[in-house]
Homo-oligomer: A and B are copies of this chain.
Amino acid sequence: MTKPQHLDSTEESKSKKSKSERTAERLYEISIQQFLRRGFDETTMRDLAQAADLSPGAFYYHFPSKEAVIQRFYERTFQQFAEAAREAMSAHTRFEARFISLLEARLATFHESRELLIVLSRAAVDPRSTLSPFGPEQKLIREATIDLMRECIDGSDLSAHKKLETYLPELLWMYMMGMIFYWVFDKSPAQKQTHELIRLLTPQIIRLIRFSRIPLTGRVLQPILQVLQLVIPEPLAARRDSPKRNSRV
């Protein structure tokens, strides 16, 4: 009955892994391979089991559902993305360049498996799904991603109004989610339209953020902060400052 669980599967020498973990890994690789070849919906559990010389039941011993494979995929590509983003960001100090390179790193990491993301997008919409980026199951990845946004800000020349700054990592995260979403369903060749959108829209968003610092904007800023407070009641930054709070999100 012991289900193997770990997000931090970066180390551990090969031989040490339990048999269960090794077959889970094998099933994962075969599954992704099949998904990419035939598409997620088109690939049957029976297909997967057969491709792995196992029974469907055995598959379910290792993964609680077909979608659970996507969860592992999402964790893996997140690791790659985080590395690539840090690497790409390190070359710049201007926020715009840093953030755009982060966004592009995200899309690049997803590039070969865009089809798979349709499943994630479908799930994204229903907060009850275990794959929903807003749900508790994705808390680790979500918060790690938001932290990455903070890194992107901290190493840059960006400055904003203090109160807005608190919400900035979450805001950038949402912005990125929106761009990923647009990209997944972007039918233009090589998803050119999304890249164009990022190129055009991002500087304007940044301009607005910078704008928040000049004093006269109180009348504009205050209602926006109210909205943010409503939509993001517990920003990560605030939670970090006062870890007393009950952090079930």
Contacts and interface: CB of A to CB of B under 8 A. Distances in A.
Interface string A123-145: 01111000000000000000000
A111 B12 CA distance: 53
Contacts of A231: 197
Contacts of A224: 204
A238 interface: no
Contact of A227 (B122, B127, B200): B200
* Majority-rule SS of A interface residues: helix
Given A125-B124, A204-B223, A197 B118 contact: no
Most chain B CB within a 10 A radius of its CB, from A125, A185, A197, A220? A125
A65 interface: no
A40 to B, nearest CB: 12
A193 interface: yes
B185 A200 contact: no
A34 interface: no
A224 B122 CA distance: 29
Contact of A223 (B118, B185, B200, B220): B200
Nearest to A204: B223
Given A203-B223, A204-B224, A223-B204, A230 B125 contact: no
A197 B227 contact: yes
B227 A204 contact: yes
Interface string A180-212: 000001000000010011001101100100000
Contacts of A227: 197, 200-201, 204
Closest 10 A-B residue pairs measured CB to CB? A125-B125, A200-B227, A201-B227, A127-B185, A204-B223, A200-B226, A122-B126, A121-B125, A122-B125, A200-B223
A223 B207 CA distance: 12
Given A200-B223, A223-B203, A223-B204, A193 B126 contact: no
Nearest to A203: B223
Given A196-B230, A204-B223, A204-B227, 10 more contacts: A121-B125, A122-B125, A124-B125, A126-B185, A197-B227, A200-B223, A201-B223, A201-B227, A203-B223, A207-B220
